[in-house]
């Protein structure tokens, strides 16, 4: 069986990225072309309590987790992952059963990818608190090489399936979203845009105003990250970043760019060019661009709400 390649936007990309701020605000300048009769998004209350997140440099958005009552473990919450990853330590401590993967994993940003041919089925997951149980189950690839600060990377699209979820970046909170977004549910000074999917992947892409696709990646601390290919002039003076698979990626800061997502226009978004990355590495929109917003992902409606937090 040939290995299926699953691209992963990894949280370790934020290691060498410097936090940015616009004087007087701490966030990117933004302006919104607000449609007439705009409506505010409403949210249903879920039986799962809100989950507190920690935003730690070099590790991303972190949450404490328990599996089958065992823990706490530290999990990175990464919308750009495309697949959940669990360390072998978690497997052994939580007594999880490991099987051969139906789709062996080869992924990562660099040209030295992480790989796994084993997976486990996770149920009995609690996040935030040991009694805050999530319903259902999901598969995770079992890996041996993760940063020492984390025990796994969770893709919330898989973890909360079939429900949607909300990532409130300023308030560092993750919630289950039980409602349904509609294209007309435009939050004040925000946007509701189509969730674009690649074939065989549920990762949340959005189409930018210039037609390019960008991956909403809460695991990355960058603003906008562009694929500079395997090598370019930027590689000589970039910052070296070691990513999850053990390979090296170079990042080079260039002039801030304007990013349009539906009616939402972000000015002065800090921008990096990545070199030494795999050819199919997508454009990334990370926390550096999205920090002022509450992001709601509805996989059923295939819509994403981007709502500024006042």
pLDDT for 20 beyond 80 = no
- Residue at which a domain ends, from 130, 153, 173: 173
* Same domain (yes/no): 297, 208: yes
Does residue 13 lie within any of the structural domains? no
In this predicted structure, what is the pLDDT of residue 46? Answer: 64
pTM for this predicted structure? 0.82
pLDDT tens per residue, range 226-279: 988 655 554 455 576 655 545 567 888 999 999 999 999 999 999 999 887 777
Closest to 224 measured CA to CA, from 236, 237, 209: 209
pLDDT at 14 over 70: no
CATH code for position 219: 2.40.70.10
304 lies in the same domain as 193: yes
In a domain, residue 80? The reply is yes
Q: How many domains does the chain have?
A: 2
Residues forming a β-bridge with 144: none
Q: What is the pLDDT of residues 23-76, one digit of tens each?
A: 223 344 444 444 444 444 444 446 899 999 998 876 789 999 999 999 899 999
- Single out the residue in 142, 173, 204 at which a domain terminates: 173
Q: How many Cβ atoms are within 10 Å of 261's Cβ, its own excluded?
A: 21
Indicate whether 5 belongs to any domain.
Answer: no
Q: For residue 85, count CB atoms less than 10 angstroms from its CB and return exposed for 0-12, middle for 13-18, buried for 19 or more.
A: buried
Q: Is residue 12 part of a domain?
A: no
The answer, yes or no, to whether residue 142 has pLDDT greater than 70, is yes
Nearest CA to 93 out of 113, 114, 117, 120 is that of 120
Q: What is the mean pLDDT of the chain?
A: 79
Same domain, yes or no: 245 and 166:
no
Cα 300 from Cα 285, distance rounded (Å): 22
pLDDT above 90: percentage of residues in the chain: 51
161 and 119 in one domain? yes
Q: How far is CA 213 from CA 148, 157, 281, in A?
A: 32, 19, 11
Which structural domain, as residue segments, surrounds residue 275? 21-42+179-308
pLDDT for the residue 247: 56
**Is 158 in the same domain as 37?**
no
* One domain for residues 213 and 282: yes
The reported pLDDT for the residue numbered 103 is 63
Task: Determine the 3-state secondary structure of 125 from DSSP.
Answer: strand
**For residue 241, what pLDDT is reported?**
62
pLDDT interval class at 13 (50, 70, 90)? very low
User: Does residue 239 sit in the same domain as residue 292?
Assistant: yes
Is the pLDDT confidence value at 22 over 80? no
Are 253 and 221 in contact by the 8 Å Cβ rule? The answer is no
Q: Both 131 and 61 in a single domain?
A: yes
Residues 206 and 273 reside in one and the same domain: yes
| Position 153 in a domain | yes
Confidence band for 212, pLDDT divided at 50, 70 and 90: very high
Best CA proximity match to 250, nearest among 262, 242, 258, 259: 242
């Amino acid at each position: 069986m040939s290995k299926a390649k699953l691209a992963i936007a990894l949280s370790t990309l934020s290691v060498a990225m410097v936090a940015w701020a616009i004087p007087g605000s701490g966030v990117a300048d933004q302006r919104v072309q607000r449609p007439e009769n705009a409506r505010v998004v409403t949210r249903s209350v879920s039986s799962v309590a809100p989950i507190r997140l920690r935003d730690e440099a070099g590790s991303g958005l972190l949450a404490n987790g328990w599996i089958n009552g065992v823990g706490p473990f530290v999990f990175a919450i990464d919308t750009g992952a495309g697949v959940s990853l669990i360390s072998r330590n978690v497997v052994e401590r939580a007594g999880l059963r490991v099987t051969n993967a139906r789709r062996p994993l080869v992924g990562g940003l660099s040209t030295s990818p992480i790989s796994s041919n084993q997976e486990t089925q996770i149920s009995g997951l609690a996040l935030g608190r040991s009694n805050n149980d999530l319903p259902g189950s999901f598969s995770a690839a079992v890996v041996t090489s993760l940063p020492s600060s984390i025990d796994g990377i969770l893709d919330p699209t898989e973890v909360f399936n079939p429900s949607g979820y909300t990532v409130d970046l300023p308030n560092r909170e993750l919630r289950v979203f039980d409602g349904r977004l509609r294209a007309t549910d435009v939050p004040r000074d925000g946007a509701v845009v189509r969730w674009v999917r690649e074939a065989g992947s549920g990762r949340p892409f959005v189409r930018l105003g210039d037609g390019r696709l960008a991956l909403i990646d809460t695991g990355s601390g960058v603003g906008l990250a562009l694929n500079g290919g395997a090598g370019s002039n930027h590689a000589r003076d970039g910052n070296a970043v070691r990513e999850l698979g053990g390979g090296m990626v170079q990042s080079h800061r260039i002039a801030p760019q304007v990013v349009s997502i539906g009616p939402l226009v972000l000015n002065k978004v800090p921008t990096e060019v990545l070199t030494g990355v795999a050819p199919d590495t997508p454009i990334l929109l990370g926390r550096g661009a999205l920090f002022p917003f509450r992001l709601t992902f509805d996989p059923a409606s295939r819509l994403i709400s981007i709502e500024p937090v006042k």
